[in-house]
Structure 1
Amino acid sequence: MSLASGTPAASDGSQARTLQASGGPARVSGSPFLHAGVTGTTRERIPTIIVEAHDELARLVAGRIATLMREREAAGRQVVLGLATGSTPIGVYRELIRMHREEGLSFAHVISFNLDEYYPMRVESIHSYRRFMWENLFSHVNIDAANVHIPDGALARAEVDAACAAYEDAITAAGGIDFQLLGIGKTGHIGFNEPGSGESSRTRMVHLDSITRRDAAADFFGEENVPREAITMGIATILGAREIAILATGEHKAGVVRRAVEGEIDRAVAATFLQRHANTTFYVDDAAAADLTRVATPWLVDEVVWGEPLTVRAVTWLAARCKKAILKLTQHDYAENGLTSLVAQHGSPGAVNGLVFNILGAKIRGKSKLPRSLKTICFSPHPDDDVISMGGILRKFVENGNDMTVAYMTSGNIAVFDHDVRRYMDFLERSAAEALHASGDGVRALTETVHAFLSRKQAGEVDIREVQDIKRIIREAEAVSGIEVMGLSKANARFLNLPFYQTGKVRKDPIGPADVAIVADLLRELQPELIFVAGDLSDPHGTHRMCKEAIDLALEEVYPGTTKRPEVWLYRGAWQEWPITEATVLVPLSQEELTIKIQAIFKHQSQKDSAPFPGQDEREFWQRVEQRNKSTATILDELGLAEYFAMEAYVIV
């Protein structure tokens, strides 16, 4: 039975349970899977399953695909899969590969049709979706190459229309698509069906939206290198599939997920057309589900159990909605916004107001209330996440006499422009070889090798080892300079250079035993009492999430069972801040402290002015930090709490 056609059967044959809102979202968690489908109390127009972890989502969707494949194989029939590219489905493909290798899942009877391809695009290009599919799935399973169909981005323009018509004919000849896998873009596009795409559209050439091209800029090392056109299946082609699964992960997808699931059908958001499909399921992780009504404001869709976290969320939401300080909320405010049950539980508005006011106030910790004399590790996924995300508390921890180590988990070398390398090569050439303790011939050979490569380098091409090393060294030097502003030195920095990152490409390898071993060795060596970990799920390329995975696995290895672990404080990166309702600790910063934090960010000169991977926010990282930290303080002020200049937020787990 389809996951989208009601409550699914669990993997052990038992019937999965349907969760209702009771202070938190219904979600899939553990095994058997729990279905968070649409009920009469939700506003969701597409059945939506919320999965706690990214990997769990991949296992769930891959399991559904495998079930369908086995059913068709047992019936002696072929199965037709519509497949997608991008970072989100990679986990699904890795799980399918595992099932093929370990469980004998056969692809011999599979016919596949991919959604799209950039145009123009050479087949051998590292950006080619054909290459992506073979590297990430097809070359690892026993699929017949003749059964693989991917739009051809290398065709002459005059041949494209006929090829698109032939693509549609091939789908029809195969009997139609049985299962279509989709991701969703920030514009709500599915495939490359950009805003304005019609419901009757079929496979065709399209012009790419500026937001889509900006999203792809990192993969192409610059928006100017992203093709302006693509070939894509149309909306009607996608809706013709018998079953559709659409995936979204990360906080940066939360807004468009809500728009697609709860909003009206609109040509400006292609994913909303999926509301008309009878067998579509949206699979999202907690972060991507954050803006759904049943998650953000569950009291608006059903009766809830008023625990403390939900009470804090509801009252701060009400205060913002009424534009009042918490202590000024009245019975009328609660009644007009569907929160009378909350007042009834506490007896009066004043009682619930006071409770939430005190809970929020207790989260505020200045330097005197922060830890002292603890062995502490700050794990920084990239060489600037430490000062960007927690520069304020880092300085306070140093001033409080904590034994601080900053562990930079990856080199961050792909985020260095080639022109920076040329500048440093020029420095080497102009410097005396003797002062660098190197022979003039050695310097000359290195600079000639680097210049020769850069002169012929294609956009997005993987750097040679010499260039990768130079970019790594640039970022390491900047990292040391940054923590020196905080009162630390080179001796406080560790550069782990985890192997998963060392692909030379934006797309990384999965976290492996070697990555975990490096982190575990550091934990054993330093025996920290407290660690800071990036909990930011909005990193566009998943490096933060993968680094956290390595840390979590290392903690399990080093501190098994009931062994006392170091306290873990989660911070967020350059894209988001913890909401005050979720934060455990709020750390106020003075104007001087925020200025020092920004000065530390300035030390990362290769990321200054124009970072290679800025995401959708074109502001510099220091500008985002300034606005984010000031905004957190402003929110507290508007709620009637103490007024501070700026503030950082952390979650203790």
Structure 2
Amino acid sequence: REEGLSFANVITFNLDEYYPMPKDSVHSYHRFMWENLFDHVDVDAENVHIPRGDLPRERVDEECRRYEDEIRRVGGIDFQILGIGKTGHIGFNEPGSGADSRTRMVTLDAVTRRDAAADFFGEDYVPKEALTMGVATILEAREIAILATGEHKAFIVRRAVEGDVDVEVAATFLQSHPNTTFYVDRAAAAELTRIKTPWLLDEVQWTPDLTVRAVVWLSETTGRAILHLTQRDYSEHKMSSLVARYGTPGAVNGEVFNNLGAKIRGKSKLPRGLRTICFSPHPDDDVISMGGILRKFVENGNDVTVAYMTSGNIAVFDHDVRRYVDYTVRLAQNGYGDPKAAEALAKKVHDFFDRKKPGDVDIPEVLDIKRIIREAEAISGIETVGLPEEKGRFLNLPFYQTGKVKKDPIGPEDVEIVRALLEEIKPELIFVAGDLSDPHGTHRMCKEAVDLALQEYAQAGNPRPEVWLYRGAWQEWPVTEATWLVPMSQEELRLKIQAIFKHQSQKDSAPFPGSDDREFWQRVESRNKDTAGILDRLGLAHYFAMEAYVVE
């Protein structure tokens, strides 16, 4: 609309649709396309084609044939836009889809359904089937653009671009198309050879960062500790030019070994006496991602405030709310509160749950109860690492308060709330979530709010605090990217896990666990031990566990 681009002569064909799926469902691609594109441009409704997910099963085959016929009738597809799923599916062409497949009904892969769980408020509500254009239908397009963003797409992008053509990865069939372009951000491109190991393809400029990455890769590839790498190792892996630059393998090895060793920051090397804010997107990201360093900062006498940016209330199961309102009624019946008020609240909540359908927005009372559950858990969590209740601040940023998985964009009100906290605390150091692969994008949006608030804060003449980015819930910083590596003893890791346990509503099975089936404490234990294990294999000191941070 901004450029006056007209859709008057455009004919569109959507790739797929869930089945069964009414057109007016909030989960329908039909509704999504009209609300997010077609209602905003001058497209002719007669030129819009979307597979019918609302037909009786006996008419599905006929619909698929009709769809193919309509594509042929208008002369085929000129420009096809695709995404790519974690299994490498394009459209809903799941593993096993052949190069000759056409528009048809398919059964959705378990990974695909798990990835869609957040949009449907639980995997149980994700349809098991879908209608999709076939691989052959897609490949007949004259031009194809495939888009991928985020760290979680990096491995499948590499597989699709560099791997062998394989019926188990439908996106690999695009390699045979004469006019296909992958559009990826740096995170999604991270595993491509030209990005991850460019020295294998051509001569490179050996910057300090690239040198560290390359030597760590060589150590991991050969299975030798860094200080044991030889001239032959470098020569066989196209890294002779690096040795030539330093003179000897030992010089390169020593440089990288010392670089990594300097990143290790035990308690004695961590800051003392600083005003510090930990910005936690959800009420458990603080202890999940940085429970170890939180304890060390407290012990070092830093003035630490944990700012919970959102309530996280949509990630509380309804059955937890039922249990808590039942508890409230029983408490009131035993003389601790007003029985009539408690029973009235319980009835309203139970009546709502009895008629609630998947995807329905909770009533205000339920949203408040879920928020309070998570706030109480958050306070219990920070108390475990040594912080008092008053050091937990609940910002409840407005962008999150939709009651749905999809949030509003970050707005001035969100930024003002964060800026006001900065003005109040005047921190010298802040922690911000750099774990941007969470399934709903809340971490990314919270970082946007902090970044904008920091700009305003600095423009007002305040000194900009040092910013440490943490990860942990969904991924961890590679040791080559980390600025600081913070060791944890067995006892410190155990305390961190105990703090995570305080978030009972997220234990056992969180409502939105992402593609990782493990509980959060299990992910944390594995990642923190793995980080320490990497340093051990590289030949550095052996630690029980380790957190990683990047200074922005």
**Class of the TM-score when normalised by the shorter of the 2 chains:** over 0.9
**Structure-1 separation of matches of 2:528 and 2:194:** 28
- Letter of the 2:303 partner, please give it: D
* 2:120 counterpart SS class: coil
Q: Residue 650 in 1 paired to residue 549 in 2?
A: yes
Q: Does the 8 A contact of 2:399 with 2:408 survive in 1?
A: yes
What are the superposed Cα offsets for residues 463-510 of structure 1, whole Å, 9 maximum, x if unpaired?
222211111111111111100101112211111112222222222222
From 16, 20, 31, the counterpart of 1:131: 31
Residues 1:386 and 2:276 are matched in the alignment: no
Which residues in structure 2 correspond to 1:434-513 (within 5 Å)? Answer: 439-513=338-412
What is the aligned counterpart of 2:435 among 525, 536, 546? 536
Bigger Cα displacement from structure 2, 528-537 vs 121-130 = 121-130
Question: Aligned letter for 1:370?
Answer: L
Distance 2:362 2:17 in 1: 24
Q: Please give the per-residue CA displacement for 1:534-562, whole angstroms capped at 9, x wherever unaligned.
A: 11122122111111111112212221399
Report the CA distance between 1:433 and its aligned residue. 6.6
Aligned to 1:598: 497
TM-score, length-normalised on structure 2?
0.97
8 A Cα contact 2:19 2:127, kept in partner? yes
CA distances 1:506-540 after superposition (whole Å, capped 9, x unpaired): 22222222222222222222221111111112212
Q: TM-score, normalised by structure 1?
A: 0.82
d(CA) in 2 for partners of 1:397, 1:459: 43
- 2:84 is aligned to 184
CA shift at 1:124, angstroms? 2.3
2:459 to 537, 542, 560: 560
Structure 2 counterpart SS, 1:281: strand
Other-structure match for 1:373: 273
**Structure 2 counterpart of 1:204, from 101, 104, 111:** 104
Q: CA deviation at 1:283?
A: 1.2
Sequence identity of aligned pairs in percent? 74
Q: 1:323-362, aligned counterparts within 5 Å?
A: 323-362=223-262
Corresponding position: 1:638 with 2:542: no
Partner of 2:119: 219
Q: Which amino acid aligns with 1:490?
A: E
Among residues 196, 203, 206, which one is paired with 1:303 in the alignment?
A: 203
Q: 2:192 and 2:288 mapped to 1: Cα distance?
A: 29
C-alpha contact (below 8 Å) 2:284/2:378 kept by paired residues: yes
The whole-number CA distance in structure 1 between the counterparts of 2:310 and 2:548 is 24
8 Å Cα contact 2:472/2:524 also seen in 1: no
Q: What per-residue deviation string (whole Å, max 9, x for no partner) do you get for residues 408-445 of structure 1?
A: 111111111111011011111111179665x4332222
SS in 2 for 1:355: helix
- Are residue 515 (structure 1) and residue 414 (structure 2) matched? yes
- Pick closer, same or farther for the CA change 1:561–1:361 going to 2, 3 Å: farther
| Equivalent residues of 2:433, 2:470 under 8 A apart | yes
1:317 aligns with 2:217: yes
- 1:419 paired with 2:329, answer no
* SS of alignment partner, residue 432 of structure 1: helix
State the Cα distance separating 1:170 from its structure 2 match: 2.1
1:275 aligns with 2:178: no
Paired letter, 1:207: T
The answer for the alignment partner of 1:245 in structure 2 is 145
In structure 1, how many angstroms separate the alpha carbons of the residues matched to 2:216 and 2:362?
A: 49
CA distance in 2, matches of 1:445, 1:138: 45
In 2: Cα distance, 1:513 partner to 1:111 partner: 38
- Larger mean CA deviation between 138-147 and 206-215 belongs to 138-147
Cα pair distance change 1:141/1:490, threshold 3 Å: farther
Task: Give the Cα–Cα distance (whole angstroms) in 1 for the partners of residues 147 and 386 of structure 2.
Answer: 44
8 A contact 1:246–1:281 mirrored in 2? yes
What amino acid sits opposite 1:275 in the alignment? Q
What is the distance in 1 between the residues matched to 2:388 and 2:143? 57
Cα drift, residue 586 of structure 1: 0.2
- Match of 1:180, as an amino acid? Q
Residue equivalent to 1:8: none
Partner secondary structure for residue 578 of structure 1: coil
What do residues 256-304 of structure 1 show as CA deviations (whole Å, max 9, x unaligned)? 0000011111111001111112221111111111111111111111111
User: In structure 1, what is the equivalent of residue 45 of structure 2?
Assistant: 145
Alpha-carbon shift at residue 137 of structure 1 (Å) = 2.2
DSSP 3-state at the match of 1:324: coil
Contact 1:201 1:236 in 2 (8 A): yes
Which deviates further from its counterpart, 508-517 or 271-280? 508-517
Q: Does 1:193 align with 2:90?
A: no
By how many angstroms is 1:143 displaced? 2.8
User: Any idea what the Cα deviations from partners look like across 1:127-161, whole Å, max 9, x if unmatched?
Assistant: 11112222322233333333222111110001111
In structure 2, distance between residues paired with 1:539 and 1:419:
24
Cα distance in 2, alignment partners of residues 152 and 186 from structure 1: 25
The residue identity in structure 2 corresponding to 1:595 is: R
The Cα offsets for residues 15-52 of structure 1, whole Å up to 9 and x where unpaired, read as xxxxxxxxxxxxxxxxxxxxxxxxxxxxxxxxxxxxxx
Deviations 1:361-390 (A, max 9, x none): 000001111111111111111110100000
Unmatched tracts of structure 1, length 5 or more: 1-99
Q: Tell which deviates more after alignment, 428-437 or 224-233.
A: 428-437
Equivalent position SS for 1:447: helix
String of CA shifts for 1:97-118, please: whole Å, max 9, x gaps: xxx1x44333333322111111
Contact (CA 8 Å) 1:389, 1:571: kept in 2 or not? Answer: yes
Per-residue deviation, 1:460: 2.6
CA 1:373 to 1:180, structure 2 compared with 1: closer, same or farther past 3 Å?
same
Instruction: Give the secondary structure class of the aligned counterpart of 1:390.
Output: helix
Q: Is the contact between residue 472 and residue 527 of structure 2 (CA under 8 Å) also seen in structure 1? A: no
Deviations 1:598-635 (A, max 9, x none): 00000000011111111222111101111110111111
2:39 & 2:450 partners in 1: Cα distance? 31
Counterpart Cα distance in 2 of 1:492 and 1:208: 46
TM-superposed CA distance for 1:180, in Å, is: 1.6
Deviations 1:189-216 (CA, angstroms, capped at 9, x unpaired): 0110001111121211111111111211
Distance in 1, Cα, partners of 2:407 & 2:505: 21
Q: Do the aligned partners of residues 561 and 189 (structure 1) sit closer, same or farther apart at CA in structure 2, a change above 3 Å counting?
A: farther
In angstroms, what is the RMSD of aligned CA positions?
Answer: 1.6
| Counterpart in the other structure of 2:295 | 395
**Deviation digits for residues 563-606 of structure 1 (CA, Å, limit 9, x no counterpart):** 63111100113121101100000000011100000000000000
Separation (CA, whole Å) in 2 of partners of 1:490 and 1:167: 60
Distance in 1, Cα, partners of 2:440 & 2:149: 11
Given the superposition, is the C-alpha separation of residues 562 and 358 from structure 1 closer, same or farther in structure 2, using an over 3 Å criterion?
Answer: farther
AA in 1 matched with 2:246 = H
Letter in 2 for 1:341: S
Contact 1:126-1:461 at 8 Å conserved across structures: no
Distance in 2 separating the partners of 1:140 and 1:424? 44
- Does the aligned pair in 1 maintain the 2:298–2:304 contact within 8 Å? yes
Partner of 2:63: 163
Quote the offset at 1:343 in angstroms: 0.5
Q: Is this contact kept in 1: 2:428–2:465, CA < 8 A?
A: yes
